[in-house]
């Protein structure tokens, strides 16, 4: 899996810029619009957001049961990736959080392969251990947590 560290000076500077609300919203919408079809066609090999690890999450809609595809930045953690429900620091959780709670069996397209996982929401003390990994990957998450004024959900994906 891809390993990115926030320890480099350029990444810390870039993450500060990306965490500014209008910049966050612009890139969230642009990356989602471009990455969804690009990742589908390339089986996860190509994406607009080339610096950070991104997977294409395939899950069922909580209300509709329809298949949803969402490109998401993830935190590589051995073979159990972490998903961060930051929604760019918005006060509402992203829809995919509700979807995973309702239907935790998901698949992800990553590095040219489709993998199947069971999504498990993390609560204390596991969440407390996982949160620093997320902030290390993308320091903007700390800013999002302050802006959102809510607990940002974390989900760990366990291979099936």
Classify burial at 158, counting beta carbons within 10 Å of its beta carbon; exposed 0-12, middle 13-18, buried 19 or more.
Answer: middle
- Band of pLDDT at residue 160, cut at 50, 70 and 90: very high
Neighbours of 127 (CB within 10 A): 17
Rounded CA separation 123/102 (Å): 17
Q: Is the pLDDT of residue 19 over 80?
A: no
Query: Per-residue pLDDT tens for 99-155?
Result: 999 999 999 988 788 999 999 999 999 999 999 999 988 888 988 899 898 999 999
Q: What CATH number matches the domain at 9-159, 3.40.50.2000, 1.20.58.220, 2.60.15.10, 2.30.110.10?
A: 2.30.110.10
pLDDT single digits (tens) 35-63:
767 777 776 666 666 557 889 999 999 99
Tokens of 133: 């990994």
Peptide bond into 125 cis (omega under 30): yes
Q: Give the per-residue pLDDT at 24.
A: 66
Q: Which residue has the tokens 């392969």?
A: 113
> Quick one: tokens of 100?
């995973």
3-state helix, strand, coil in the chain (%, to 5): 40, 25, 35
Domain ranges across the chain: 9-159
Confidence band (pLDDT; 50, 70, 90) for 17?
low
What's the predicted TM-score (pTM) here?
Answer: 0.77
Q: Does residue 150 contact residue 114 with C-beta atoms inside 8 Å?
A: no
């Amino acid at each position: 899996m891809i390993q990115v560290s926030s320890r480099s000076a350029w990444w810390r500077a870039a993450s500060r810029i990306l965490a500014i609300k209008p910049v966050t919203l612009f890139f969230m919408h642009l990356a989602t619009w471009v990455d969804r079809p690009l990742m589908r066609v390339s089986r996860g090999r190509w994406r607009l957001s080339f610096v950070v690890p991104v997977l294409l999450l395939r899950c069922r809609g909580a209300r509709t049961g329809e298949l949803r595809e969402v490109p998401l930045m993830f935190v590589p953690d051995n073979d159990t990736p972490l998903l961060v429900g930051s929604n760019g620091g918005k006060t509402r959780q992203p829809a995919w959080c509700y979807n995973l709670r309702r239907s935790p069996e998901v698949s992800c397209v990553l590095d040219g392969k489709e993998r199947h996982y069971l999504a498990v929401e993390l609560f204390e003390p596991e969440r407390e251990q996982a949160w620093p990994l997320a902030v290390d990957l993308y320091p903007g998450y700390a800013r999002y947590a302050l802006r959102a004024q809510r607990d940002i959900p974390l989900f760990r994906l366990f291979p099936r």
